[in-house]
Structure 1
Amino acid sequence: MNILLAPDSFKDCLSATEVCRYLDHGIRRIYPHAEIKSIPVADGGEGFVSAMLTALGGTEITCPVRDPLGRKIHASYGILGDKQTAVIEMAAASGIELLKPDERNPLVTSTFGTGLLMRDAIERGCRKLIIGIGGSATNDGGTGMAKALGYRFLDHNGEEIDSGGGNLNQLAHIDHSSVFPLLKETEIRTACDVTNPLTGKHGAAAVYGPQKGAPPEMVAILDQNLEHLAQIIQRDLQVDVLKLVGGGAAGGLGAGLVAFSDARLQAGFDIVKEQTGLEKAVQQADIILTGEGKMDHQTKEGKTPWGVAQLALKHSKPCIGVAGSLGEGYDELYEEGFTALFALPNGPLSLHESLAQAPQLLADTVEQIFRIIRMTQRG
């Protein structure tokens, strides 16, 4: 039996790579000699680097950077086996999880550390970067990232403005005369799974600012500042990012990557599908397993398990979804390529207990699934 494992992470619990491991354990209790292929499908957020390295091979690189508040830390990224492609999670250097709740302040947080990761990869010879931009602590429109790559953001006196989204209103001129030369030789693709524009009621500040520590009055300031940044970008760089689909991702880093590094924004799932050969693996599989922490009616709005199920449907393959929980409207997924859906808890459990027992619950649930499959095959 040829089995493909292609899950996303179970957020705040298990990475996509770990989910694959425990699914594998459960299957092998019933089919110890099964051919099992694991393609963890983190699509730009947490676990993106680990998933890509697991699927494609490569090396994890650790280097000194700065966290969102400018403190010295070390962060990691991956260089794939071709030695030319680096995979970076912006959250490794500029993520919200790096800050305590009382430290979160998008007026001052910066993406500078993400730019340092990019620069390190380019200096090591990588000419292709794939950047996942989920989980940010920032709202600086990517200006911190750009500073690390040689851009200068100047006020009316020709002085560099301070970092953070709260200072963008002081911006008068973008100096790109000293940009890191190798940046122009580097192809950058951005795994971006939101469609929010840079500003407005659906923009970076309005939608994501509150979770980064911004009360309503701060959201208004951040939104105005990003609009000002977009106007200066268009004037000085001749790039229009104001209405860019996905430009509001990661506090405007989506727009910043396009403006400052000529990046291409793509759905994270599409990048992973292409890089890992996921569709070919689906074609070769007898059964596909996918899943994430919660599956409900929102899953079909482009989330990773839905993407996997769509490939299974395209190639007439059975696709089983395994989730920490099944929410409202999960039954709609049966029309989207899923053959069956299973939730993990096997009794009344608190959230804490469910998270702690997730590895065992995953293995046990999949064991039961494949006991049924074995029985039907014998019949």
Structure 2
Amino acid sequence: MKVVIAIDSFKGSLVSEETNESAAAGVRDACPDAEIFTVPLADGGEGTVDALIHATGGQLIKCSVTGPLGKPVTASYGLLGDGQTAVIEVAAACGLTLVPSAERNPLHTTTFGVGELIADALSRGCTDLIIGLGGSATNDAGVGMLQALGYSFRDAHGLEAAHGGAALAGIATIDPSSAHPKLAYVRIRVACDVDNPLHGPEGAAYIFAPQKGASASAVAQLDRGLAHFAALIREQLGRDVQRMPGAGAAGGLGAAFAGLLGAALTPGAPLVLEAAGFDRLLEGCDFVITGEGRLDGQTARGKAPHAVAHAASQRGIPVIALAGDVAPQASELALLGITAAFPIVAGPVSLEQAMVPDAAKEGLRRTTKEIFRLITTVLRRP
């Protein structure tokens, strides 16, 4: 029997590697001869680098870059096992957690460090970049990142644009002539699970900037800057970034990647599974196990277990989903490829008790053991 396990983290309790290993132990308890493969799961956000390093036998690269406040920070990215693919979470260089609460202001924070991480990866010979958006403290439409990669953005007086979203409204010219030469030969895929436009009521400023410390007046100022920048890109480069779904992601980094660097913006979980070689593991597979902390109606909206179930069901492979809690709406997941879903909690307990790591591990192992004890018993019947 071949079993592939790809369970997401149980937020606040277990990381993906721990959920996978706990379920794998349960399968081995019931079926010692089973061939088991685990794939750490992520959706492009926090944990993506670690998941793909683990899945491909890669390594973590650390370097000093410019943080969101313009001060040096130590950031990491993943160099995957093929030696040619880098995985970068933008939050490592411009994340909200890098900025003290009292200093959060997207009028001034920059994505310059993201560009420095990309430049470092290019210097190591990487030809394929996977970028995880999310968790940024910025709203500069990726201008800082592009400056670090050689782009020039000048105002009407010929001065280079300063860091931060406040500078967007003053940009008069975009000059890509000195862009990093290796950008022309690199494939960039961006994990992006939102479709917000760059500016407007549903854009980067109005939807995301308040949680990054922007006041109401700052939000309006940022939105005007984003609108000006979008018009400038359209006039000078002939690209309509406002019409690109996801352009408003991560404070407008989506627009920079898709509109100026030619990147593809794709849902995060399928992108991570592809990079981890998930489809290859499904060959000859008898059962797939997936799951997350809570299975509910949100699971169907592009979350990682949905991507796992979709890929497996395309091959006709039964999918077992495990979770700390299975909401009534989860029954709808059968339409998305999940064969059966099971809660791992043994009895009435508080949320705090259920989230104790050892309790969650034991619940995963016990539930998986019982499921596969049933499966093996049925399969052995004459």
Q: TM-score, normalised by structure 2?
A: 0.91
Question: Quick check: 1:122–1:182 contact (8 Å CA) kept in 2?
Answer: yes
What are the equivalent positions in structure 2 for 1:1-379 lying under 5 Å apart?
1-327=1-327, 329-357=329-357, 358-378=360-380
SS where residue 183 of structure 2 aligns? helix
Q: Deviations over 1:338-363 (max 9, x none)?
A: 12112333344444443333334333
For structure 2, the 5+ residue unaligned runs are none
**1:67 corresponds to which letter in structure 2?**
G
Measured in 1, the distance between the counterparts of 2:95 and 2:101 equals: 12
Secondary structure at 2:69 match in 1: coil
**Which whole-Å deviations, capped at 9, do the CAs of 1:95-140 have from their partners, x for residues lacking one?**
2233343333222222111111100000111122111112222211
Aligned-pair CA distance for 1:378: 4.9
Write out the 4+ residue segments of structure 1 that deviate beyond 6 Å after TM superposition.
Answer: none
* SS class of match (1:45): coil
Distance between the aligned counterparts of 2:362 and 2:111, measured in 1?
A: 38
Aligned AA for 1:32?
P
SS, match of residue 242 in structure 1: helix
Cα deviation for residue 52 of structure 1 reads: 1.5
Counterpart amino acid of 2:364? L
TM normalised by structure 1 equals 0.92
CA deviation map 1:221-275 (0-9, x unaligned)? 2222111111122223332201101111111111111233222222223323433
Q: Which moved more, 1:50-59 or 1:214-223?
A: 214-223
What's the CA shift string for 1:60-87, capped at 9, x where partnerless?
2111112222232211111222222111
Count of aligned pairs between the two proteins:
379
Q: CA offset at residue 375 of structure 1?
A: 4.2
Gaps of 5+ in 1: none
Q: Which amino acid aligns with 2:24?
A: D
The one-letter code matched in structure 2 to 1:10 is: F
**Separation in structure 2 between the aligned mates of residue 51 and residue 222 of structure 1, nearest angstrom:** 34
Q: Cα–Cα, structure 1 residues 26 and 350, in superposed 2: closer, same or farther, change >3 Å?
A: same
Identity, % of aligned positions: 47
Mapped partners of 1:15, 1:136: distance in 2:
21
Q: Tell whether the 8 Å contact from 2:75 to 2:92 is kept in structure 1 after alignment.
A: yes
Measure the CA separation in 1 of the matches of 2:144 and 2:102. Answer: 21
Q: CA RMSD in A?
A: 2.2
Deviation at 1:328, TM superposition (A): 5.3
- Relative distance call for 1:171 and 1:342 in structure 2 (3 A) is same
Verify the 8 A CA contact 1:310 1:336 in the aligned structure 2: yes
Aligned partners of 1:348 and 1:167: how far apart in 2? 55
Tell me, yes or no, if the aligned pair for 2:31 and 2:373 is still in contact at 8 Å: no
Counterpart residue type for residue 362 of structure 1: L
Q: Secondary structure at the match of 1:69?
A: coil
Preserved contact between residue 48 and residue 272 of structure 2 (Cα < 8 Å): no
Give the whole-Å Cα distance in 2 for the aligned partners of 1:13 and 1:59. 25
For residue 6 of structure 1, give the secondary structure of its aligned residue in structure 2.
Answer: strand
